[in-house]
Amino acid sequence: MRDYNGVLLPTLLRAYNRAKNARYNIGICEQLALQLDAKPTSEKTKNFEKLNLIVVAQAPSPEQQQDRPVHIQILVPHESNKGYHLRIGIDELLAGFATAQPSVEAEDQAWPKLRKQMRQAESDESNEQND
């Protein structure tokens, strides 16, 4: 279920993420870089080495400009090639690294004020001096 902006609602998004993560018997790319050079020690790491990354660049139609692809997709297929660990567009991938929401600087209200009677005393004194 999505809200009116087409964005997954938070609780559903979390459930979706959890389901997505559970599907991967290795965390997406987690420790992949570290373990590529290591000798396989278990079936799990053997499977690791069979991972393939496919980059699909969709070419524009002949009548369109040919200087850039219409769309780029990143795919990590299951070993059986019957499904995908990961199948997303490059824009979506990059969005995961974006800092879309800048931090909010709340108004700085951490200032003391002189007490009213003191402000009054100061004001009276100043008036007296002026007179």
Which residues contact another protein (rule: CB under 8 A)? Answer: 7, 10, 13-15, 17-18, 21-22, 27-31, 34, 92-93, 95-97, 99, 101-116, 118, 121, 125
Q: What residues pair up with 2 in beta bridges, in sequence order?
A: 8
Query: Using the 8-state DSSP alphabet, how is residue 8 labeled?
Result: B
Closest distance of CB 130 from another protein, Å: 16
Nearer to another protein, 38 or 59 (CB): 38
Please give the Cα distance from 98 to 86 (Å, whole number). 19
Closest distance of CB 35 from another protein, Å: 10
Nearer to another protein, 26 or 78 (CB): 26
Question: Is residue 73 within 8 Å of residue 89, measured between CB atoms?
Answer: yes
Please give the Cα distance from 113 to 105 (Å, whole number). 22
Nearer to another protein, 34 or 55 (CB): 34
Question: Is residue 74 within 8 Å of residue 91, measured between CB atoms?
Answer: no
